[in-house]
Amino acid sequence: MLSKKTIENVLYAALSQGGDFAEVFVEDRFSTNIKMVGGYVENSISGRDFGVGIRIFDGFNAVYGYTNDASEENLIKVAKEIALALKSEKTDIILNLMKSDTRNLNPIKIIPNTVDKAKKVELLKRGYNSAKNYDPLITQVTSNYFDEEQNVLIANSEGLIAGDKRVRTRIFVQSVASKDGEMQVGYYAPGASMGFEFYDTIDVEEVGKEASRIAKTMVLAEHCPSGVMPVVIHNEFGGVLFHEACGHSLEATSVAKGTSVFSNKLGQPIASPLVTAIDDGTMPNEWGTLNIDDEGTPTQRNVLIENGILKSYLIDKLNGRRMGMESTGSGRRQSYKFAPTSRMNNTFIANGESTFEEIIKSTESGLFAKKLGGGSVNPATGDFNFAVMEGYLIENGKITKPVRGATLIGTGAKVLENIDMVGNNQTCGQGMCGSLSGSIPTNVGQPTIRVKALTVGGRKGEK
């Protein structure tokens, strides 16, 4: 991608005006996107992203510049231009870039770009057919095929030079069910850090059916009642609750500034003793797995909360300096267009001891949130909100009627304390997480959990 000599010259230029750390990030990515609407291929787009990001630290300050003109002359110009903003004393450095060997956590069998587009379209057709034929109430189906191969090269003035190839594949099916002039949507979107062999591990027909099952259930559902009630949140994508409500507040981005509700709480109880939560960037072929993060640090398994006690934050290099702590391999970015910062990889609540049946049975009255949609959080206050894509009432220890339009709101700190049952059926779901350093693939996950009291917003009025 860039010669070692060029990288060295750019790093020297970056530190020529002062500063104590410089980094070069080179990215070359090829992506394919195919979109099918109503069984017809509406769009097929492919292309190449290419660019270089240069970052310089001076103590706790950082400057960043990026460009897609990768000529040595231009890169040196960019490096010098951003260095001007630092205005510190120049220190002499000697560079010795050592290529580091990286392990391969994501073995790839079939590079997607070697697969004929006809096969990719075929997958979409199968997903569409099973979704459309699921039920006469299904009136529209949209599906997307996505793959990418991202090659990165990262070098820094500490002597690191490392590369990584990230191959990702994902399929998305969204079904619309209509009845009496009302429409409801269901979707399902599995993905992995795998090549085209991913489709030997999942059944696209099942993906289509799942999307339609949700849409149909919801179009037949009543409006959700509102009020404070026990909420049972199911496994897989239910983990987005922990991701939004707690995970973001554990990122060094907000912890280092002291603006997170979990700042200065290491070693203290922040959750119910039933809760152990982990961010693991090393799970083979998972959607959020990387061999090295976008600062070149190998990813690791970080236990964030153990039996309710806060054990670790998610830390990148710059915030690590500010906090006097080491990187946890959590420095990530969408592309060279973003300076990296602390982010999640595969984040989940670990298994507890209750069975799913026990959790439902012991809930007198409440909401079963089987599938959550997306959500967001204000890291300073911890206030979160989630849409429930598929919900049901729990009455007398049984799941009864489906309900739609529910929203869960609360604060991360409170919900962590209020988790009073944790199941033993942990699984992960795939999402795209948007934050300061852009949109990145992350896994969320958990077993079925129960929150003893949570505010549910719905249109039906008080339960």
Partner 1 sequence: MKYFDLAEKIFESGKDKFEDMEIYIEKTKTIEMSVFNGELDKYNISDTQGMSFRGIHNDKMGYSYTEKVDESSIDMLVNEAYENGKYIDALEKETIFSGSDKYEEMDNFNKELKSTPLEDKIEFVKSLEKEALSLDSRIVAVSYCMYNEVENSKYLINTKGLNLEDNTNLAYAYLVVVARDGEDTKTGISYVISRDFKDFDYRKMAKEAVDEALSLLGAKPIKSNEYPVVFRNDAFASILGAFSSIFHAENVQKGLSLLKDKIGEEIANKNFTLVDNPFSSEGFNSSTFDDEGTATKYKKIIDKGTLNTYLYNWKSATKDGVESTGNGFRNSYKSSVSTSATNLYVEKGDKSLDEILETVDSGVYITDLQGLHSGLNPVSGDYSLSAHGYEIENGKIKRPINQITIAGNFFETLMDIEEIGNDLRFSTNGVGSPAIKVKKLAVSGE
**Pick 291 or 332: Cβ nearer partner 1:** 332
Min dist CB 383 to partner 1, Å, is 7
**Pick 219 or 359: Cβ nearer partner 1:** 219
Q: Which of 1, 2, 37, 325 binds partner 1 (CB under 8 A)?
A: 37
Residues 81-140 that bind partner 1 (CB under 8 A): 81-82, 85, 117-118, 121, 139-140
**Pick 237 or 421: Cβ nearer partner 1:** 237
Q: Which of 4, 228, 273, 401 binds partner 1 (CB under 8 A)?
A: 228
Residues 59-78 that bind partner 1 (CB under 8 A): 60-69, 78
Min dist CB 64 to partner 1, Å, is 4
220 binds partner 1 (CB under 8 A): no
Alpha-carbon distances of 93 from 25, 57, 283, rounded to whole Å: 20, 14, 37
261 binds partner 1 (CB under 8 A): yes
Residues 167-206 that bind partner 1 (CB under 8 A): 176, 178, 181-185
365 binds partner 1 (CB under 8 A): no
Min dist CB 226 to partner 1, Å, is 3
Q: Which helix (H) or strand (E) holds 449?
A: strand 449-457
- Any idea of the CA torsion for 413, 417, 423, 428, to the nearest 10 degrees? 10
Residues 392-431 that bind partner 1 (CB under 8 A): 404-407, 409-411
Tell me if residue 460 falls in helix, strand or coil: coil
Nearest to 129 by CA among 183, 203, 45, 179: 203
- Angle, helices 204-219 vs 117-132, to 10°: value is 30
335 contacts 364 by C-beta, under 8 angstroms: no
DSSP state of 327: -
Q: How far apart are CA 442 and CA 73, in angstroms?
A: 36
Min dist CB 387 to partner 1, Å, is 4
**Pick 257 or 265: Cβ nearer partner 1:** 257
Query: Under 8 Å CB-to-CB from 209, ≥6 apart: which residues?
Result: 130, 131, 134
4 contacts 161 by C-beta, under 8 angstroms: yes
Q: Which of 150, 351, 362, 385 binds partner 1 (CB under 8 A)?
A: 385
**Pick 85 or 274: Cβ nearer partner 1:** 85
**Pick 47 or 107: Cβ nearer partner 1:** 47
Q: Which helix (H) or strand (E) holds 401?
A: strand 398-404
**Pick 155 or 372: Cβ nearer partner 1:** 372
392 contacts 403 by C-beta, under 8 angstroms: yes
Number of residues that bind partner 1 (CB under 8 A): 81
**Pick 140 or 355: Cβ nearer partner 1:** 140
Q: What share of the chain is helix, strand, coil (3-state, %, to 5)?
A: 20, 45, 35
List the beta strands (DSSP E) in 257-345. Answer: 277-280, 301-306, 309-310, 331-332, 341-342
Stretch that binds partner 1, among 33-41, 195-203, 278-286, 326-334 (CB under 8 A): 33-41
Site string for partner 1, 262-301 (x = CB under 8 A): ----------------------------------------
Q: Which of 4, 5, 40, 89 binds partner 1 (CB under 8 A)?
A: 40
Q: How far apart are CA 118 and CA 196, in angstroms?
A: 13
Stretch that binds partner 1, among 102-110, 150-158, 297-305, 370-378 (CB under 8 A): 370-378
Q: Residue 366 forms beta bridges with which residues?
A: 394
Q: How far apart are CA 346 and CA 356, in angstroms?
A: 23
376 binds partner 1 (CB under 8 A): yes
Nearest to 39 by CA among 140, 137, 135, 134: 140
373 binds partner 1 (CB under 8 A): yes
Structure-block tokens of residue 212: 């339609």
C-alpha angle 119/125/130, rounded to 5°? 135
**Pick 224 or 360: Cβ nearer partner 1:** 224
47 binds partner 1 (CB under 8 A): yes
Stretch that binds partner 1, among 34-42, 200-208, 344-352, 440-448 (CB under 8 A): 34-42
Residues 434-463 that bind partner 1 (CB under 8 A): 455-462
Q: How far apart are CA 327 and CA 79, in angstroms?
A: 24
Structure-block tokens of residue 62: 């950082």
